[in-house]
Amino acid sequence: MCGIIGYSGTANAVPKMMKGLSLLEYRGYDSVGLAAQVGDEVKLVKCKGRIGVLEEKLRDAPVEGSSCAIGHTRWATHGAPSDVNAHPHRVGGVTLVHNGIIENYKALAGALEAQGVVFASQTDTEVAAALIDACYRRTGDPVAAIRQATAHMRGAYAFGILFDGQKGRIYAVRRGSPLILAKGQDGYYIASDITALLPFTREYHAMDEGEIVCLSGQTATCYDEKGDTFTPVFQKTTLTPEAAQKGGYPHFMLKEIYEQPRAAAGCVSPRVNAAGLPDFSADGVDAAFLSGVRQVHIVACGSAVHAGYLGARFFEDIAGIPASVYIASEYRYHPPLSGEKTLVLVISQSGETADTLAALRYAKEKGLPTLAVVNAVETTIAREADRRVYTYAGPEIAVATTKGYCTQVAALWALAAAAGLANGHADADTARAVVKGLVEDAPAAMKTMLAQRDTFAAAAKGLADHEHVFYIGRGADYALAMEAALKLKEISYVHCEAYAAGELKHGTISLIEPGTPVLVLATDPALFEKTESNLREVRSRGAYVILLCREDAAVTADAADRVIRLPQTSPAATLFAALVAVQCIAYETAVFLGCDVDRPRNLAKSVTVE
Ligand code: G6P
């Protein structure tokens, strides 16, 4: 979602803004802008569209001689993408960029309009700028102005602010939306995440809720929620600048698909003990804790909730623990029955998804123990959950998740095995086999699939010009089908639905016409015959069928138009191989259709609004 960057120091600020903004592109955006202090003035350049448009504007009217600037990528919520709605917003002596949503902006705007303020944009952000400006005019003190103004705001925000008369200084504050302060050789920075700053520095401090920071070229002063100053502790990220580059691949998504064999093993290996058994005690999730869990609520959004559907099966099958899955934005509205031994397990790649965070906070309010499976370290969800298991996938830049989801599934599978071992539902051989499947078989199987990219490109061509595409599957394959369908539609814009294989005939089969593509996931030998019957139902109505099944599945020549065979070394090998296949099919379809693979329209990587 929206991205923030700011810099004050001795170097030229505008090129740093442009570089940082390009590294924020992955979050998803529809307009972009920057504000730079030049002498006593603030120069504002902003526009609807991509960074290329901003570059053109800067070529026509260069902004030079600035060493203090803020920049922003906007993902529209209040007010359509347009030049005027783009950030930064300037009101009176205040220029700011904002991530999040000010929920009571209408009431605040009404009060300000009554005092004569006229708004140019449709954004909640301009209202925030006007309110801070009013407080700044009253107090003459930026920190006091921020404290006064934010006391009236409801919602989530991270602001980077330039105040007139405060040369060389950027002020920042956050509540609900992430923001970091970072220290470089040539000055201080703010950013919504460290990825945007990797070319400049790796030392950062994750700002706390309600924290205010004032940074200049030489110093950074932090104020806690109460207004007391404190010295920030900087930590060093392990991410390298290369992590945010394509490394020779045409798209980040493809790079991240190829990273999966290593990522899956890298997620599980640190949680395998000398006996080859899953062991999460170093994550604070030890056998004593796991053996006390009687029920699991899995809560997440998007692909993470799809990982959750698989996770619930693992917990029930391997650990014998009843597990239910909830879409995070719904969790609070239908409070599910829970006991004190209900573990609320939230899953989030970014660690910042607003709905997941709200559900986590709700669970904590109810006194339930919480565990977060998170990729991005030191993020809000990771920090606020009682316990956290990092998936160690490394930075994921493509908006559509691949290795993030892959490692979530791997982590959940290993966690369920650890829980089964802890409560006695699984024996050591079962748990050891799960671990081996994830650390050895699945990576090898994924590599086998990645060696067959031509197959997926050929399959993709058959999907591109259809109005509807279906994925069907039973059991775990149905859960995987949901992710497969989402992947295809989010990046190629081809409409695709996932159906439990037995359910299609209860209505939706009416959409099957001659040639309608149906991709059948049939990876479980125990369910193969039943799924094959469902395949026949659509095939006899003319569907174009692509079957994904194990190497040993008995498939007659007339069963499918195309068969993609999957390694069968272990259940993990087959499932992860199928995952790579469906990801590659989505990728190749999007490439074939000329879509912006890494930055699909309207989507954001990290959804920080509810
Ligand atoms: C957005 C992304 C999805 C992602 C979902 C949850 O919608 O576009 O790819 O699955 O958020 O994100 P999280 O970071 O919480 O896993």
pLDDT tens-digit series, residues 272-311: 999 999 999 999 999 999 999 999 999 999 999 999 999 9
Mean predicted confidence (pLDDT) in 340-361: 93
What's residue 579's pLDDT? Answer: 98
What's residue 378's pLDDT? Answer: 77
Report which protein residue has its CA nearest ligand 1's atom 4.
Answer: 302
What's residue 306's pLDDT? Answer: 98
Q: Indicate if the pLDDT at residue 335 is higher than 70.
A: no
How many CA within 13 A on the CB side of residue 157?
Answer: 30
Spatial distance between the Cα atoms of 579 and 103, rounded to a whole number of angstroms: 39
Spatial distance between the Cα atoms of 469 and 517, rounded to a whole number of angstroms: 5
What's residue 379's pLDDT? Answer: 84
pLDDT digits (tens, 9 = 90+) for 192-238: 989 899 999 999 999 999 999 999 988 999 999 888 999 999 999 98
Spatial distance between the Cα atoms of 35 and 516, rounded to a whole number of angstroms: 51
Spatial distance between the Cα atoms of 391 and 269, rounded to a whole number of angstroms: 11
Pick the atom of ligand 1 nearest to 303's CA: 10
Question: Is the CB–ligand 1 distance for residue 380 below 6 Å?
Answer: no
Spatial distance between the Cα atoms of 481 and 95, rounded to a whole number of angstroms: 47
Q: Indicate if the pLDDT at residue 472 is higher than 70.
A: yes
pTM summary value: 0.85
CB atoms within 10 A of CB 344: 26
What's residue 448's pLDDT? Answer: 97
Evaluate whether the domain defined by 3-244 bears CATH number 3.60.20.10: yes
How far does the centroid of ligand 1 lie from the alpha carbon of residue 1, in Å?
A: 10
Mean predicted confidence (pLDDT) in 106-129: 95
Report which protein residue has its CA nearest ligand 1's atom 5.
Answer: 302
Question: Is the CB–ligand 1 distance for residue 177 below 6 Å?
Answer: no
Q: What is the mean pLDDT of the chain?
A: 94
How far does the centroid of ligand 1 lie from the alpha carbon of residue 486, in Å?
A: 11
Q: Indicate if the pLDDT at residue 520 is higher than 80.
A: yes
How far does the centroid of ligand 1 lie from the alpha carbon of residue 75, in Å?
A: 15
How many CA within 13 A on the CB side of residue 369?
Answer: 17
Please name which of 153, 192, 178, 183 lies closest in space to residue 70, comparing C-alpha atoms. 192
Residue 546's beta-bridge partner residues? 519, 562
Report which protein residue has its CA nearest ligand 1's atom 3.
Answer: 302
Spatial distance between the Cα atoms of 136 and 153, rounded to a whole number of angstroms: 16
CB atoms within 10 A of CB 173: 23
Amino acid, single-letter form, for residue 103: E
Q: Indicate if the pLDDT at residue 558 is higher than 90.
A: no
The secondary structure of 40-64 as a DSSP string is TEEEEEEEES-HHHHHHHHHHS---
How far does the centroid of ligand 1 lie from the alpha carbon of residue 351, in Å?
A: 9
Question: Is the CB–ligand 1 distance for residue 303 below 6 Å?
Answer: yes
Q: Which residues are catalytic?
A: 2, 605
pLDDT digits (tens, 9 = 90+) for 310-330: 999 999 999 999 999 999 999
Question: Is the CB–ligand 1 distance for residue 491 below 6 Å?
Answer: no
Question: Is the CB–ligand 1 distance for residue 304 below 6 Å?
Answer: yes
What stretch(es) of the chain map to CATH 3.60.20.10? 3-244
How far does the centroid of ligand 1 lie from the alpha carbon of residue 606, in Å?
A: 6
Pick the atom of ligand 1 nearest to 28's CA: 8
Helix, strand or coil, per DSSP, at residue 465:
coil
Mean predicted confidence (pLDDT) in 486-509: 94
Tell me which of 26, 193, 257, 303 to substitute to probe ligand 1's pocket, judged by most ligand atoms within 8 Å of the beta carbon. Answer: 303
In which band, very low, low, confident or very high, does the pLDDT at 497 lie, cut at 50, 70 and 90? very high
Give percent of the chain above pLDDT 90. Answer: 84
The secondary structure of 225-255 as a DSSP string is TTS-EEPPPPEE-S--GGGGS-TT-SSHHHH
Extended beta strands in 351-431, E state: 370-374, 387-390
How far does the centroid of ligand 1 lie from the alpha carbon of residue 303, in Å?
A: 6
What stretch(es) of the chain map to CATH 3.40.50.10490? 252-447, 453-592
What's residue 370's pLDDT? Answer: 97
Pick the atom of ligand 1 nearest to 376's CA: 14
Q: Which CATH class is domain 453-592?
A: alpha beta
pLDDT digits (tens, 9 = 90+) for 564-601: 999 999 999 999 999 999 999 999 999 999 999 998 98
Question: Is the CB–ligand 1 distance for residue 353 below 6 Å?
Answer: yes
In which band, very low, low, confident or very high, does the pLDDT at 73 lie, cut at 50, 70 and 90? very high
Lowest mean pLDDT among 334-338, 353-357, 489-493: 334-338
Lowest mean pLDDT among 70-74, 181-185, 262-266, 509-513: 509-513
What's residue 336's pLDDT? Answer: 65
What's residue 610's pLDDT? Answer: 76
pLDDT digits (tens, 9 = 90+) for 162-179: 999 999 999 999 998 889
Q: What are phi and psi of 466, to 5 degrees?
A: -105, 150
Q: Indicate if the pLDDT at residue 338 is higher than 80.
A: no
CATH code: domain 252-447 is 3.40.50.10490
Q: Indicate if the pLDDT at residue 339 is higher than 80.
A: no
Please name which of 578, 593, 583 lies closest in space to residue 461, comparing C-alpha atoms. 593
What's residue 396's pLDDT? Answer: 92
Spatial distance between the Cα atoms of 379 and 360, rounded to a whole number of angstroms: 13
The dihedral sign for the CA sequence 560, 565, 571, 573: negative
Spatial distance between the Cα atoms of 391 and 438, rounded to a whole number of angstroms: 13
